[in-house]
Amino acid sequence: MRKDYDLLVIGGGINGCGIARDAAGRGLKVCLLEMNDLGGATSASSTKLFHGGLRYLEYFEFRLVREALIEREVLLKAMPHISWPMRFVLPFHRDMRFDGTTPTSKLLGTVMPWMKGRRPAWLIRLGLFMYDNLGGREILPGTKSLDLHAAPEGAPLNKKFKKAFEYSDCWVEDSRLVVLNARDAEDRGADIFTREKVLGSDVTDGVWTVTSENSNTGETTKRTARMVVNAAGPWVGDVLRGTLRSNSSAGVRLVRGSHIVTKRLFDHDKCYFFQGTDGRIIFAIPYETDFTLIGTTDAEHADPSQKPECTDEERDYLIDFINQYIAKPIAVEDIVWTYSGVRPLYDDGADSATAATRDYVLKLDKSRGAPALNVFGGKITTYRRLAESALEKIQTVFPAADKPWTAGVALPGGDFPVDGVAQMIANLKTQFAFLDERWATRLVKAYGSEARDILKGSAIKADLGQDFGATLTEREVNWLIEKEYARCAADVVWRRSKLGLRLSKEEISALDIWMKSRVAAGVTAAAK
């Protein structure tokens, strides 16, 4: 296998995988190293939305919002299996407050001091008008008003809420998006290595030599590259100053976002956008058919090596927040799962974690005598545009690389129309009669057109091999090992899927033992 590359990417989150895919498609020789599982940190712990970022309008982040709004429909067309439109219901009441640090809040505090930080309805409607029109729309419907006492969306809410605005944004299976970008990068010639931690680097005659260690085998490997991309997410600062030994002054601000998951709280497929009296917002989102996802928080997180976890304080904050809105309050006992992720934001000196910019910043550094590109921030929604912006800088080193190409190009399994999901589910059930509606839907919304490839040749359920529970079979797990870099049960039940919500601890443990045996046998066979 090759050990000399044009581009070596450190970090297998959405930014790293997106850059690797774009670069490989332009003809560059690309290697990606990820120390754990693909998307195993920030990219698997998002709120699962790709959206323009309505609240960023309050910070006058118009460029970021416009770019994100345009990207929504570009991405929907490229990955209709793992993303879909969603309507958002924003209840209004007079006690809504701005975050006092936003430019909008400061402006209104000057010209309309009698509002005392409240968000007036006309301002929300103006923001939604901009949201509808900044990026243009072909697929997504625009904003409308709701009478909550007449509309079904009002039924789960406290009766004090009489009016709401309804607008469009989108849902995405975040960690599957990462894996599909990695797969597409590999299909275009990139080498993707997981469980491969970078230990150090040297530069000789303008070429990087990067040393890494495989966490499974302990084997160390040296690879050379003309350029390095530091897309290490929460560890971008550690890689910048430790691994790459750069003297760059660029800094990262780590912000933890925590979420709670409960049993389903409402009987429709729309999301709620709730605004608090403290100026913050949270979402309550239909999740995995039978659940509701609630989040997120914004808290400083000092150390990337400290695993992010939802604290009791954050949990209680989210419970108290949503209980201000819903008619039937929830309690700690209603929570079935919590998760947290760390957003590696560019340190722009903002006063609070909430106010820190969500825009991405790309810093090209040649202080070591060879070029390195350091990636700060970014959102799932704009990952493809971030990759294109990164390639603009990368092409200063590789001017012969091909032109931008990713807009409108489907990810694996996404080669069907945006409105074709229902027909694909029906066709899959017809072709494989042992599937019920829920099973077929799960497969199509995970694998799209490739669901047929996973099931190919099976006439009855038993043809799919061992049953691990919750419709997860040996055939599917083998696909995830061989095609999608899965190596242990957590990779499968918490990142490639969310079947961990349905499987028992015993079932997950049995799957983990089976997978590790299967992976070890594969490694042994490959070594012979």
Say if CB 395 and CB 142 are below 8 A apart. no
Structure confidence at residue 527 (pLDDT): 40
Q: Is the pLDDT of residue 115 over 60?
A: no
Looking at the chain, the domain(s) classified CATH 1.10.8.870 span 420-527
Q: What per-residue confidence (pLDDT) applies to 316?
A: 97
Angle at 235 (CA atoms; ends 234, 239), nearest 5 degrees: 155
Confidence of residue 45 (pLDDT cuts 50, 70, 90): very high
**Where residue 528 falls among pLDDT bands split at 50, 70, 90?**
very low
Mean pLDDT score, 110-132: 71
Residue 310 CA to residue 433 CA, distance in Å, equals: 42
| Architecture per CATH, 5-43+175-250+357-396 | 3-Layer(bba) Sandwich (3.50)
Residues of the chain with CATH 3.50.50.60: 5-43+175-250+357-396
Q: Which tokens hold the place of 240?
A: 């910048």
Cis bond before residue 296 (omega within 30° of 0):
yes
pLDDT given at position 130:
82
Other CB atoms within a 10 A radius of the CB of residue 74 amount to: 17
pLDDT in tens, 297-339: 989 998 888 999 999 999 999 999 999 999 999 999 999 999 9
Q: Give tens-digit pLDDT for 146-181.
A: 999 999 999 999 999 999 999 999 999 999 999 999
DSSP string for 380-399? GGGHHHHHHHHHHHHTTT-T
- What DSSP letter does each residue of 24-86 carry, written as one string? HHTT--EEEE-SSSTT-SGGGSS-SEE---GGGGGGT-HHHHHHHHHHHHHHHHH-TTTEEEE
Q: For residue 264, is pLDDT > 70?
A: yes
Which tops the pLDDT comparison, 375 or 108?
Answer: 375
pLDDT grade, residue 118 (50/70/90)?
low
- pLDDT value at residue 275: 87
d(CA 358, CA 257): 13
Query: What value does the mean pLDDT of the chain take?
Result: 91
Whole-number pLDDT of residue 98: 57
Judge residue 212's burial from the number of C-beta atoms within 10 Å of its C-beta, 0-12 exposed, 13-18 middle, 19 or more buried.
buried
pLDDT at 226: 98
Residues of the chain with CATH 3.30.9.10: 84-170+253-346
Asked if the peptide bond before residue 262 counts as cis, ω within 30 degrees of 0, the response is no
Q: How far apart are CA 481 and CA 508, in angstroms?
A: 16
The 3-state DSSP composition of the chain as helix, strand, coil percent (nearest 5) reads 40, 25, 35
Element (H, E) at 527: helix 505-527
Q: What is the pLDDT of residues 346-370, one digit of tens each?
A: 887 666 666 566 678 999 999 999 9
Fold of the domain spanning 84-170+253-346: D-Amino Acid Oxidase; Chain A, domain 2 (3.30.9)
Predicted confidence (pLDDT) at residue 59 exceeds the cutoff of 70? no
How much is the average pLDDT of 206-225? Answer: 96
Domain 420-527: which CATH number of 1.10.8.870, 1.10.3720.10, 1.10.730.10, 3.30.70.60: 1.10.8.870
Percentage of the chain lying above the pLDDT 90 cut: 74
Contact assessment for residue 282 and residue 294, using Cβ atoms and an 8 Å cutoff: yes
